[in-house]
Structure 1
């Protein structure tokens, strides 16, 4: 969550990028700090729950979790690539998704 917020702070208040997106089938809306914090928080809690389940049910939980997490990250990139408004907005949204995914994929399975 903090990594995504750091990207948002660098892009919006500091660089002055007008960060907006239109969810698939939705209307254009600004992307504020609450949305930026809520997304990674939900992803992190969901990933943690999945990892806990896999640790109880599978022989190779970390490998399985990593494969699923990378697939979910790839799918999550569809919305910013399709719904981002302008090149700077798309680049910022994709960066936030990649930073969040990298942190979760690298650090969540560690104890």
Structure 2
């Protein structure tokens, strides 16, 4: 495995790890209840959903970056802009469905932490 692939893999693993750290500080330590309203009632956001969602986001970001590097003339720039737009759009989830101010703030922080790790870690420049 080359250095670039190793760095990308560590980024995709680092995003769920960072999100899980935020979740652990907010939920078990601070006592915040992360509940979201859904059409069928409410659902608590637990550690498994935090890890799975951030891992899926990381793998999707890596796949998009790989496709752009193959076919786009400026893959790093296109990927970064796309990733930032997706991050901003993802914030509508917590803003519209979180049950309570504390849950909203924690869920926004989770999105921002995962987004920051992925945007900064997956963006790479070609020499």
Return the offset for 1:102.
0.3
Q: 2:94 aligns with which of 43, 64, 80?
A: 80
Is 1:42 aligned to residue 38 of structure 2?
no
For the pair shown, which has the larger CA radius of gyration, 1 or 2? 2
Return the offset for 1:26.
4.6
Unaligned residue ranges in structure 2 (runs of 5+): 1-15
Unaligned residue ranges in structure 1 (runs of 5+): none
**Aligned twin of 1:4:** 19
Return the offset for 1:35.
0.4
User: TM-score, normalised on structure 1?
Assistant: 0.95
Question: SS of the counterpart of 1:22?
Answer: strand
> Aligned Cα RMSD in Å?
1.2
Runs of 4+ in structure 1 over 3 Å off: none
Provide closer, same or farther for how the CA distance between residues 16 and 47 of structure 1 changes in structure 2, counting only shifts above 3 A: same
**Aligned twin of 1:103:** 117
